[in-house]
Structure 1
């Protein structure tokens, strides 16, 4: 299974015994949307709802830090996602949050994971059928496992900035990156990490919400000043849209690391250096 699958491919695979489809839509509560309720009103047949807002470390004030491996495995089992499953993720979020679910699943040991290109919007635009209500779930075994080689913490990022041993790529908007726009989080400085490059996450998508691929995708990263042959760490505001850049790099055969605390940690920490301007 490719990392990026089409609506035609998924429609043909629905019902396969090893296939699990997951709605990974997440939006900020301030939008007034309720992704869980939206899921019940209409989802791809057989899909389960992964609540990313709850699938996090609740022992920290940071918004979207990875949960423990044990918590993650328990939630996956309760969703019927287990060892040997082929997992296809989709979302209906402006932040393309299925990429965050993809990154988490890979971090916790699931490798046969794909994203539906264009998400639920494309599926609906093509007039494909939706199911309503909740799906009946059967627990499946999900092995507790964590591989954090692709995760960076605050101390590691301080070393990256000091040494320049990896490129830092920020997925936030240009105005947030330069500091022209104030950070929405209280007591969080504006700006970016010293030496960071900026590629707003929307830059790796086509107008219809599908991912750019091939030369178009490669050009998006290179135009942002990224050398694809050198190590890369992605970051954003809370670790969500950084995942879209990590997935885009994966499509190009490049496995980037991700700074999980992102700007909500770096920008609020008094010991870190911040830069404003382009």
Structure 2
């Protein structure tokens, strides 16, 4: 199946500052309370980018009917978010989080998978916005339901548009990953820290084994970042070309529970024209699913 080209997913803080008063631009904070895999940035009080909405991706963009951790949302849940925020086919969404780059790539991949293409990640997020000296707020924007009714394509028209654009190939299942151990149809990149990947430390979630999916490649998500922002495309191209097999075309990203895997996924997409030829996907269950299933094989470091 031929896939539509993916737009460059990142927007700089300077670009957002120029656009922040544009009515078509919707700024959304998708920060998460719990941060795993990095030292969290702590705020003494609520700090936001002016005119931004808050979307709790732990609630609004998680499949509550699934037993998995942070499972990908259902179509109906995404439709509810679209209507709740008043998103139309013509909206430009800019997603950010208060850790720089952490949960915003996850929200971006969800929206992209369900057909919204005019969506961007604020490169560097709130920390970079503050670093550059742009104004901040201490509250979120509240949707006026009366105004929502007047927006173009809100409701069934938008839902119909989303239904027709869902791309199931952007997700892979546990069974597909298991079959791939034999078929070798895609490469798996695990973005967890090296000690976790090698099984040298206990997993943070109870009942989850230590180690990694056999034949997977370790690329800690911190390696695609330069502080709070993504590394430059040339650096990312070199990084991925140094770890991926020359004949690799499909690349599946994994992590602990499907959140930080999207950091690596977006890094591959934003690395430039050459690597956009890769067919990128997310193993949503990630290690929390694989490591919990005693019937599945695991690998550990021989150190």
Q: Is the 8 A contact 1:197 1:226 kept in 2?
A: no
Pairwise CA distance, 1:70: 0.9
Q: Is the 8 A contact 2:100 2:124 kept in 1?
A: no
Identify which of 36, 42, 46 aligns with 2:47.
42
Equivalents in 1 of 2:66, 2:181: separation in Å?
Answer: 24
Q: Is the 8 A contact 1:44 1:129 kept in 2?
A: yes
Which whole-Å deviations, capped at 9, do the CAs of 1:169-200 have from their partners, x for residues lacking one? 00100000000011121221110111100000
Q: Does 1:78 align with 2:84?
A: yes
Equivalents in 1 of 2:169, 2:224: separation in Å?
Answer: 24
Equivalents in 1 of 2:300, 2:48: separation in Å?
Answer: 42
Cα gap change, 1:121/1:272 in structure 2, threshold over 3 Å: closer, same or farther? Answer: same
Equivalents in 2 of 1:205, 1:134: separation in Å?
Answer: 28
Provide the residue aligned with 2:222 in structure 1: 202
Identify which of 71, 82, 101 aligns with 2:107.
101
Per the normalisation by structure 2, the TM-score is 0.84
Matched ranges for 1:8-157 at <5 A: 8-28=14-34, 41-54=46-59, 55-93=61-99, 96-138=102-144, 139=148, 140-141=154-155, 142-143=158-159, 144-145=162-163, 146-157=166-177
Q: Could you say what secondary structure the match of 2:226 adopts?
A: coil
Question: 5+ unaligned residues in a row in structure 2: which ranges?
Answer: 1-6, 149-153
Pairwise CA distance, 1:44: 1.2
Q: Is the 8 A contact 1:170 1:196 kept in 2?
A: yes
Instruction: Count residues with an aligned counterpart.
Output: 274
Alignment RMSD (CA, Å): 2.4
Equivalents in 2 of 1:15, 1:271: separation in Å?
Answer: 54
Equivalents in 1 of 2:224, 2:29: separation in Å?
Answer: 21
Which whole-Å deviations, capped at 9, do the CAs of 1:48-107 have from their partners, x for residues lacking one? 111111120112222111111111110232123222211111111266110000000001
Q: Is the 8 A contact 1:170 1:235 kept in 2?
A: yes
Equivalents in 2 of 1:29, 1:211: separation in Å?
Answer: 18
Equivalents in 2 of 1:136, 1:92: separation in Å?
Answer: 19
Q: Could you say what secondary structure the match of 2:230 adopts?
A: coil
Pairwise CA distance, 1:256: 0.7
Q: Is the 8 A contact 1:246 1:255 kept in 2?
A: no
Per the normalisation by structure 1, the TM-score is 0.91
Q: Could you say what secondary structure the match of 1:256 adopts?
A: strand
Provide the residue aligned with 2:241 in structure 1: 222
Cα gap change, 1:255/1:14 in structure 2, threshold over 3 Å: closer, same or farther? Answer: farther
Pairwise CA distance, 1:134: 2.9
Equivalents in 1 of 2:23, 2:188: separation in Å?
Answer: 41
| Bigger Cα displacement from structure 2, 235-244 vs 126-135 | 126-135
Pairwise CA distance, 1:228: 7.9
Q: Does 1:270 align with 2:294?
A: yes
Question: 5+ unaligned residues in a row in structure 1: which ranges?
Answer: none
